[in-house]
Amino acid sequence: MAEAVQTLHPGHAKFTPRVFSGIQPSGGLTLGNYLGALKRFAEMQGRMETIYCLVDLHAITDKWQDPERLRQQTREAAAGFMAAGIDPASSILFNQSQVAAHAELAWIFNCVARMGWMNRMTQWKDKTAGKNAENSSLGLFAYPALMAADILVYHATHVPVGEDQKQHVELTRDIAAKFNHDYKQDFFPLTEPVIEGTATRVMSLRDGSKKMSKSDPSDQSRINLTDDADTIASKFRKARTDAELLPDTPEGLKDRPEARNLVNIFAALADRTVEEVLADYAGKGFGTFKPALAELAVEKLSPISAEMTRLMSDPAEIDRILGQGADKAAAIAQPILDRTFDIVGMLRSRR
């Protein structure tokens, strides 16, 4: 991270280093969310100003969500963030819909971004592949403009995400650059995606070519942060692998996606490099490696899941924390939104 801060894009010069990232509360949190996002969110805390958001407006773009369940999942995700080490006293933690500035800035960005840019988004293409795109929500298509608003309404300079979100952060830079150019202002920063570590793309336990996802129909494909020790162990035991022994170098994992995934997960959970893990397990089979991985995962994840259960027993306290976070977030966002509206030429006579 320290390195990323020093190699700021010139566009950052006048912007305070500030981290923003979000997760959709559209289902339970997975090991992919933890390793690709949450664990890294917690590591960035204290080094820079950090703002973390449960993006509930994004959560309804893909499909209809049961309202009470969505509210519950938002609380559960907040509990997951805190259990993973995000401290609401040092980071701002809130849910997106409580800060209206996100949706307001998104409208402006809907008018800056081009249809062609949205059409090129691989997530849009994947989500509508083989289906009738005509029947997808307009919100799903415009989703990256809302994501750009999430980031830029705070003038955030750094966005830690998993590999799958890289293109959306690049689009955020395109939107910022076009806005700055169209209005002849150096107003929005050109934000950097921060994609680091061995687990920026955790794959499904059933299919090494698909990412682990909260929306995969098979629960066996993922580890949920709420899974108990037996479930975690059994899912790793049944994870798809090949029949070969583990190699002594990372190159030996090149054409072995399932094996590579399990070794990456081990390395990320243990805070070690892939080389170090292979130094211990080269020449061993999955009969040895899988139980060791299961044990490590249980050791690292059970305190998180226990803490989530404890936090979830007091939903009113979670709501209070999110409300307070929203107030702090709005205090940063509102002046930036007001300035944007001024730049664009919206008449504001009530101020």
Structure tokens, 297: 């995962």
User: Measured from the CB atom, is 169 or 239 closer to ligand TRP?
Assistant: 169
Contact, 90 vs 321, CB < 8 A?
A: no
Q: Binder to ligand TRP among 35, 151, 246, 297 (CB under 6 A)? A: 151
Which position among 36, 80, 208, 325 is part of the footprint of ligand AMP (CB under 6 A)?
Answer: 36
Q: Is 235 a catalytic residue?
A: no
Catalytic residue among 39, 211, 235, 300: 211
Provide, rounded to whole angstroms, the least separation between the CB of residue 214 and ligand TRP.
10
- Within residues 256-315, the interface with ligand AMP by CB under 6 A covers none
Residue 50 interacts with ligand TRP (CB under 6 A)? no
Considering the rule CB under 6 A, would residue 59 count as an interface residue with ligand TRP? no
Contact letters for ligand TRP, residues 168-207 (x by CB under 6 A) = x---------------------------------------
Residue 4 and residue 40: Cα distance in Å, rounded? 13
Instruction: Decide: is 153 part of the binding site for ligand TRP (CB under 6 A).
Output: no
Residue nearest to ligand AMP (CB): 36
Nearest residue (CB) to ligand AMP, 127 versus 211: 211
Residue 24: φ, ψ to 5°:
-80, 130
* Minimum CB–partner distance for residue 94 and ligand TRP (Å): 13
Residue 325 interacts with ligand TRP (CB under 6 A)? no
Which lies closer to ligand AMP via its Cβ, residue 25 or residue 179?
A: 25
CB of 345 to ligand AMP, least distance (A): 34
- Integer angstrom CA distances of residue 70 from 149, 155, 212, 231: 22, 28, 21, 24
What does the chain come to in residues? 351
Q: Which is nearer to ligand AMP, 166 or 328 (CB)?
A: 166
21 binds ligand TRP (CB under 6 A): yes
The catalytic residue among 166, 178, 184, 214 is 214
Q: Does 30 bind ligand TRP (CB under 6 A)?
A: no
Does position 325 interact with ligand AMP (CB under 6 A)? The reply is no
Work out whether 214 is an interface residue with ligand AMP (CB under 6 A).
yes
Active site residue 328: no
Task: Give which of ligand TRP, ligand AMP, none residue 151 binds (C-beta under 5 to 8 Å, depending on kind).
Answer: ligand TRP
Burial 56-95 (b: 16+ CB within 10 A, else e): bbbbbbbeebeeeeebebbbbbbbbbbbbbbebeebbbbb
Q: How far is the CB of 351 from ligand TRP (least distance, A)?
A: 28
For residue 79, the partner it binds in ligand AMP, ligand TRP, none, with Cβ less than 5 to 8 A by kind, is none
Active site residue 214: yes
> Residues 151-190 vs ligand AMP: string with x where CB under 6 A?
----------xx-xx-------------------------
Catalytic residue numbers read 127, 211, 214
Binding site for ligand AMP (CB under 6 A): 23-24, 32-33, 36-37, 161-162, 164-165, 200-202, 211-214
